[in-house]
């Protein structure tokens, strides 16, 4: 059989189907006019009710209410022509498979075969039409798959494919689109749509169809539904019927299977569901409703000032001297300026400010041409008024609120023009002293978040996440951030901004119910904020509109309002639903463009390069040397911009600590591109801790994409832990060590300190803290630790540079930001840090620069590293080269013949003049003052250069032996004529001199003297020589120890720590390593006048075996 014959057979079969279907639609059992087969009245009434319920249920899914549904259906019913309730109901139940012939009969439509022909249509009438495309199911499945793959319209395709799966492959189905027009015929409207190539659902599907088999369709004109009235005219008396007719027709044919992405109607409508309505009913908006009921048209003083702002804008545009300047200037003619000023100054001022203002994106050509307000004719204004009025209970004054478009004339939006329009908007906001600004669309939100200084303060993703969230911003563009302090802010023109979706996005884009619900809830949140602001205005003092305190208090009170928590939750869910709906694929980018009310931009390599170049130029390059005046000013200026990349840094890596962010920029190398450096810093903040972790196999160096996979991240952590454990010596993980490590890790950050900004540290039992600083890419740590305070031993504190407490010292704070200890707060002077460990001092200088602190103790030459031995060697040369010198540590009447160390030090300063810098003198004088603990650290530093033999019993006299630069340190001896009773220990012994590592000498003493002693037997350890008489008869340790060790082959190295312990009265190592570790009891004699300990034989008394050979008698 030929293809022509097959086609003819299909047409005959379809004709028979049409006849049978028509008979069913007409309510006939067969096509026999002689037999009475029509349904009775009761059956028709039941089916009529079913039809209305079906259409209303579908409209409810679209969250709209069809206002004139009954009137529309009544217009369709013409029994004599076959358009009966049963016929219309059957069509509504299965429009996908209903043929064009049957549809035409049921709706009494005219099928227009010849599309190019165009009958004239009166503009006073609105005509309704249906575009219909027929194909077999097999072809429909292929086209639907291709459409999904190309345009990602999953919601539509999922429903359609499910319905097609239940239809035989050779069955014919119909893809349809419902529309209406006043200005043209259905044919002309179709041709205009396909030639304009607008990316609607119908346009996208039609392009797939055209490329596949050619554009074949027919158009139905629904004559009974023609309405006398003009589509899209808000003032038309038939407006409700015009919109309701299109909505009824779309939902009658089932919107799910149509190529309509919108629910119909020129003007959008929205009906909240029960859950949303319940949420709104919980809000008390009495004050807001009263406010809008009293709104009048503008304030004359404000109106005149705003006229001046528009005239200034006109002059600015004229001064640009571009090709379009004259045309744009002429648009701002005096009459139109008066209109703009009147619109912007509408509303009711309270307390010297305007409580409420709407800041929109742009004026439409229609509003500009007709000089009409936003709320008068535009669809965006209509849906805005509808949503707001529903919440307010129909308050008419809302539409008279202050209103201003960023682009207040229809012009080409260029980066050269934009600053002038932003400046005009900022002036209007300041003139009004607006307390709450509603931004409609992306552009005004960006400008508001940028504090009306530029248009980079909000990213697209941030905008979608910020909808409905009240945020504080400032409109004082005259404030000079560069010459102010880092934390200085304007005192006036603070306001709250609530970002809204562009209402035009539901007029020209998909009118998705989720989008309308988000818009509705955003207005509810806005009115709750406004109600709070109005209450504060009514209170008066101390609340001053325009101050930051006023805005912050309003947001605080907002959180306490009844119904706020539920509203916030519903708003968050609605925002998430809309963001999910707008996917991130190619279709999602298109939806985002519609969402923002902007053009859909196609990205390619060339545009990407241009965009990168613009970012590089906008952010600029690091100016001047690090921490220079030029860099400080640049940092202040960029901090004030609130640009999205900087905000991402601040919120992510720096945990909203502006000081740390400033430190990053101040420390950036000169000439580095700031935008690129910020992106790198964000990247390091996200996975910088993985840089030293094992990478999963297959990932090249520098590729951290694996960090997005949770399983690979877990593998890396486990592998890192395994490698660390493998590197530890056997027995490392004792119970005590694990507990100590857990305690330390719980209180300390493991990273290096870059700035002294709330640095958590752990103060050890000795009152010292250990930490590492990062300076110029190198890690530095002072092994001896920095002395904090014995009062804070065993606690976690924060080491912080707080200029409000001290400009030249670090302070210690607790979790509540209070200085500690409370009775005597600890401070660590910058000069002490410089003397102790220069890298600590340099980090403090960097931290002070963040706060722009100017202090003479911090202005020393950064490159000059402080060295103790320079002045020490000069001092020794001046005062000790001829013989030993005695001095007192502080003035004393008891030793009037001796000079103080401070006097001798000043002599050295005078002798050597400029050879000792002023910075060195500051450090020395600070370190030797009584405030820093006297000479203890100074003596330690002397010991590193020249060690004298210490002699005890006097803490006020310091003796330094004769200095010989060529002698080996530590070998100097005092001459016989010095009185040892007047000498003191000047410096501590060499590190490790008291540490007992070999316990065999102790074991030897134990086995020889107390191996057979009863448990509990006491032994005296006498260090001062006068404790034996207090404990007569008690065995004394040192005498027995000396005798016992003579019997074995112990070396000098083995015994020296024991003797040092005895001679220098440093028993800690002996007590712990020997007695405590072998379960002996050990406690100090409770007498402050003597130095002695008592040890107790353990239970059981089992000394270890001795592993040293006995000494052979000579």
Looking at the fold, whether 397 and 531 belong to one and the same domain comes out as: yes
> Is 576 within the bounds of a domain?
yes
Q: Which of 769-778, 820-829, 988-997 has the lowest mean pLDDT?
A: 988-997
> Is 990 within the bounds of a domain?
no
What is the rounded CA–CA span in Å between residue 452 and residue 434? 13
| Token pair belonging to 705 | 């994409």
The predicted structure's pLDDT at residue 590: 45
Q: Which of 257, 290, 318 is the last residue of a domain?
A: 257
Burial environment of residue 1086 by CB neighbours within 10 A (0 to 12, 13 to 18, 19 or more): exposed
Instruction: Provide the whole-model pTM.
Output: 0.57
Residues in CB range of 998: below 8 A, 6 or more apart: 1054
Say if residue 833's pLDDT is above 70: yes
Model confidence band, residue 782 (pLDDT cutoffs 50, 70, 90): confident
The predicted structure's pLDDT at residue 845: 84
Query: What is the DSSP-derived secondary structure letter of residue 83?
Result: B
Looking at the fold, whether 1029 and 946 belong to one and the same domain comes out as: no
Looking at the fold, whether 655 and 582 belong to one and the same domain comes out as: no
Closest CA to 380 of 396, 395, 358: 358
Say if residue 433's pLDDT is above 90: yes
How is 133-177 classified by DSSP, letter by letter? EEEEHHHHHHHHHHHHHHH--HHHHHHHHHHHTTS-TTSEEEEEE
- Residue 1102 CB: number of other CB atoms within 10 A? 9
Looking at the fold, whether 928 and 1018 belong to one and the same domain comes out as: no
What is the rounded CA–CA span in Å between residue 936 and residue 315? 74
Query: What is the DSSP-derived secondary structure letter of residue 1070?
Result: I
Model confidence band, residue 20 (pLDDT cutoffs 50, 70, 90): low
> Is 342 within the bounds of a domain?
no
Looking at the fold, whether 935 and 825 belong to one and the same domain comes out as: no
Q: What are phi and psi of 304, to 5 degrees?
A: -65, -40
Looking at the fold, whether 641 and 788 belong to one and the same domain comes out as: no
Q: Which of 696, 720, 755 is the last residue of a domain?
A: 696
For 103, 285, 332, 356, the CA distances from 307, given in Å and listed in that order, are 58, 33, 11, 19
Q: Which of 111-115, 201-205, 887-891 has the lowest mean pLDDT?
A: 111-115
Range of the domain at 111: 11-257
Q: Which of 563, 596, 629 is the last residue of a domain?
A: 596
Closest CA to 234 of 360, 345, 366: 366
> Is 639 within the bounds of a domain?
yes
Say if residue 501's pLDDT is above 90: yes
Looking at the fold, whether 794 and 920 belong to one and the same domain comes out as: no
Q: Can you tell me the mean pLDDT for 434-439?
A: 97
The predicted structure's pLDDT at residue 914: 86
> Is 686 within the bounds of a domain?
yes
Preceding peptide of 419 cis, ω within 30°: no
Query: Which CATH number does the domain housing residue 385 bear?
Result: 3.40.470.10
> Tens digit of pLDDT for each residue in 343-372?
999 888 887 789 999 999 999 888 898 899
Average pLDDT for the chain: 80
The better pLDDT of the pair 515, 854 is held by 515
Residues in CB range of 899: below 8 A, 6 or more apart: 887, 888
**Are 545 and 433 spatial neighbours (Cβ–Cβ below 8 Å)?**
yes
Model confidence band, residue 890 (pLDDT cutoffs 50, 70, 90): confident
Q: How many domains is the chain partitioned into structurally?
A: 6
| Residue 431 CA, distance from chain mean position | 32
The better pLDDT of the pair 890, 303 is held by 303
Say if residue 933's pLDDT is above 90: no
What string of H, E and C letters represents the secondary structure of 481-549? CCCCCCCCCCCCCEEEEEEECCCCHHHHCCCCHHHHHHHHHHHHHHHHHHHHHHHHHHHCCCCCCCCHH
What is the rounded CA–CA span in Å between residue 518 and residue 347? 26
The better pLDDT of the pair 962, 259 is held by 259
The predicted structure's pLDDT at residue 458: 84
> Is 273 within the bounds of a domain?
no
**Are 635 and 646 spatial neighbours (Cβ–Cβ below 8 Å)?**
no
> Is 280 within the bounds of a domain?
no
Q: Can you tell me the mean pLDDT for 555-561?
A: 96
Looking at the fold, whether 845 and 888 belong to one and the same domain comes out as: no
Q: What are phi and psi of 353, to 5 degrees?
A: -150, 165
Looking at the fold, whether 894 and 835 belong to one and the same domain comes out as: no
Looking at the fold, whether 1061 and 926 belong to one and the same domain comes out as: no
**Are 475 and 503 spatial neighbours (Cβ–Cβ below 8 Å)?**
no
> Is 97 within the bounds of a domain?
yes
Looking at the fold, whether 1010 and 929 belong to one and the same domain comes out as: no
Looking at the fold, whether 21 and 128 belong to one and the same domain comes out as: yes
CA angle in degrees (0–180, nearest 5) for 424-428-432: 170
Site of tokens 């900022």: 426
Helix or strand or coil: residue 416?
Answer: coil
**Are 669 and 626 spatial neighbours (Cβ–Cβ below 8 Å)?**
yes
């Amino acid at each position: 059989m030929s293809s022509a014959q097959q086609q003819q057979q299909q047409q005959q079969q379809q004709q028979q189907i049409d006849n049978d279907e028509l008979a069913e639609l007409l309510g006939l059992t067969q096509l026999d006019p002689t037999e009475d087969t029509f349904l009775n009245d009761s059956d028709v009434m039941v089916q009529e009710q079913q039809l209305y319920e079906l259409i209303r249920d579908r409209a409810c899914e679209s969250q709209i209410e069809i206002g004139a549904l009954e009137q529309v259906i009544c217009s369709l019913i013409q029994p004599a022509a076959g358009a009966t309730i049963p016929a219309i109901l059957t069509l509504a139940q299965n429009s996908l498979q209903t043929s064009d012939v049957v549809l035409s009969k049921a709706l009494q439509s005219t099928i227009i075969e010849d599309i190019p022909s165009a009958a004239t249509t009166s503009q006073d009438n609105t005509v309704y039409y249906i575009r219909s495309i027929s194909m077999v199911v097999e072809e429909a499945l292929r086209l639907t798959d291709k459409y999904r793959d190309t345009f990602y319209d999953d919601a539509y395709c999922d429903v359609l494919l499910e319905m097609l799966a239940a239809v035989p492959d050779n069955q014919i189905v119909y893809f349809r689109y419902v529309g209406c027009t006043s200005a043209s015929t259905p044919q002309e409207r179709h041709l205009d749509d396909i030639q304009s190539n607008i990316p609607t659902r119908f346009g996208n599907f039609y392009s797939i169809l055209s490329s596949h088999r050619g554009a074949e369709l027919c158009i139905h004109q629904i004559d009974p539904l023609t309405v006398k009235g003009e589509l899209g005219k808000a003032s038309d008396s038939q407006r409700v019927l015009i919109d309701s007719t299109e909505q009824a027709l779309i939902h009658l044919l089932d919107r799910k299977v149509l190529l309509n992405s919108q629910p119909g109607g020129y003007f959008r409508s929205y009906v909240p569901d029960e859950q949303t309505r319940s949420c709104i009913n919980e809000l008390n908006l009495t004050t807001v409703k009263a406010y809008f009921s009293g709104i009048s048209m503008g304030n004359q003083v404000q109106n005149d000032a705003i006229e001046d702002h528009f005239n200034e804008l006109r002059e600015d545009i004229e001064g640009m001297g571009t090709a379009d300047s004259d045309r744009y200037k002429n648009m701002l003619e005096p009459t139109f300026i008066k209109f703009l000023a009147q619109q912007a100054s509408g509303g009711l001022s309270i307390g010297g400010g305007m409580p409420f203002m709407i800041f929109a994106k742009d004026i439409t050509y229609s509003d500009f041409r007709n000089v009409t307000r936003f709320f008068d004719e535009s669809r965006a204004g209509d849906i805005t008024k509808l949503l707001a009025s529903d919440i307010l209970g129909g308050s008419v004054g809302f539409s008279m609120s202050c209103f201003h478009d960023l682009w207040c004339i229809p012009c080409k939006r260029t980066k050269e023009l934009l600053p002038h329009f932003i400046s005009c908007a900022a002036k209007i906001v300041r003139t009004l002293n607006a307390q709450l600004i509603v931004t409609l669309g992306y552009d005004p939100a960006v400008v508001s978040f940028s504090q009306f200084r530029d248009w980079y303060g909000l990213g697209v993703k941030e905008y979608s996440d910020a909808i409905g969230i009240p945020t504080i911003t400032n409109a004082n563009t005259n404030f000079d951030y560069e010459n102010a302090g880092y934390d200085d802010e304007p005192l006036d023109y603070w306001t709250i901004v609530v970002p809204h979706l562009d209402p035009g996005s539901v007029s020209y884009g998909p009118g998705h119910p989720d989008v309308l619900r988000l818009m509705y809830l955003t207005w509810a949140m806005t009115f709750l904020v406004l109600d709070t602001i109005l209450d504060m205005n009514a209170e008066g003092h101390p609340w001053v509109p325009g101050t930051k305190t006023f805005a912050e208090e309003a947001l605080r009170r907002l959180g306490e309002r009844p119904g706020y928590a539920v509203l916030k939750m519903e708003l968050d869910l609605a925002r998430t639903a809309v963001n999910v709906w707008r996917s991130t694929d190619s279709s999602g980018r298109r939806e985002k463009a519609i969402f923002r009310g902007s053009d859909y931009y196609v990205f390619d390599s060339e545009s990407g390069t241009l965009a990168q170049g613009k970012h590089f130029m906008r952010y600029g390059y690091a100016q001047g040397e690090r921490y220079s005046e030029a860099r400080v000013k640049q940092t202040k200026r960029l901090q004030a911009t609130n640009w999205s990349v900087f905000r991402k840094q601040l919120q992510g890596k720096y945990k909203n600590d502006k000081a740390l962010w400033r430190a990053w920029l101040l420390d950036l190398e000169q000439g580095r591109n700031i935008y690129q450096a910020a992106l790198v810093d964000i990247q390091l903040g996200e996975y910088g801790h993985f840089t030293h972790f094992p990478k999963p196999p297959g990932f090249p160096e520098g590729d951290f994409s694996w960090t997005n996979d949770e399983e690979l991240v877990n593998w890396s952590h486990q592998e890192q832990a395994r490698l660390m454990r493998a590197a530890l010596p056997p027995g490392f993980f004792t119970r005590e060590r694990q507990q100590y490590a857990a305690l330390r890790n719980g209180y300390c950050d493991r990273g290096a300190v870059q700035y002294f900004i709330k640095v958590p540290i752990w103060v050890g039992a000795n009152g010292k803290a250990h930490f590492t600083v990062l300076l110029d890419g190198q890690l530095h740590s002072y092994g001896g630790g920095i002395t904090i305070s014995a009062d804070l031993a065993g606690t976690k504190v924060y080491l912080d540079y707080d200029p409000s407490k001290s400009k030249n010292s670090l302070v210690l704070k607790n979790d509540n930001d209070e200085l500690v200890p409370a009775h005597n707060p600890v401070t660590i002077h910058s000069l002490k840090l410089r003397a102790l460990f220069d890298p600590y001092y340099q980090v403090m200088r960097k931290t002070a620069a963040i706060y722009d602190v100017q202090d003479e103790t911090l202005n020393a030459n950064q490159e000059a590293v402080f060295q103790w031995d320079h002045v020490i060697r000069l001092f020794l040369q001046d005062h000790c080269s001829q013989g030993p010198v005695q001095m007192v540590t502080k003035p004393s009447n008891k030793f009037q013949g001796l000079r103080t160390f401070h006097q001798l030090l000043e002599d050295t300063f005078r002798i050597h003049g400029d050879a000792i810098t002023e910075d060195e003198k500051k450090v020395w004088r600070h370190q030797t003052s009584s405030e820093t603990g006297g000479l203890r650290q100074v003596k330690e530093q002397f010991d590193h250069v020249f060690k004298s033999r210490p002699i005890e019993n006097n803490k006020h006299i310091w003796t330094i032996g004769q200095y010989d630069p060529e002698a080996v340190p530590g070998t100097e001896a005092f001459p016989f004529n010095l009185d040892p009773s007047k000498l003191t220990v000047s410096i501590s012994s060499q590190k490790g001199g008291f540490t007992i590592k070999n316990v065999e000498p102790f074991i030897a003493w134990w086995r020889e003297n107390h191996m057979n002693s009863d448990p509990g037997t006491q032994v005296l350890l006498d260090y001062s020589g006068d404790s034996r008489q207090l404990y007569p008869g008690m065995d004394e340790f040192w005498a027995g120890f000396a005798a016992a060790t003579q019997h074995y082959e112990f070396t000098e190295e083995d015994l020296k720590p024991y003797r040092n312990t005895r001679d220098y009265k440093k028993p800690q190592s002996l007590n712990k390593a020997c007695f405590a570790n072998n379960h002996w009891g050990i406690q100090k004699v409770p007498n402050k006048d003597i130095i002695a300990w008592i040890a107790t034989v353990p239970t059981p008394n089992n000394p270890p075996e001795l592993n040293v050979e006995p000494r052979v008698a000579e």
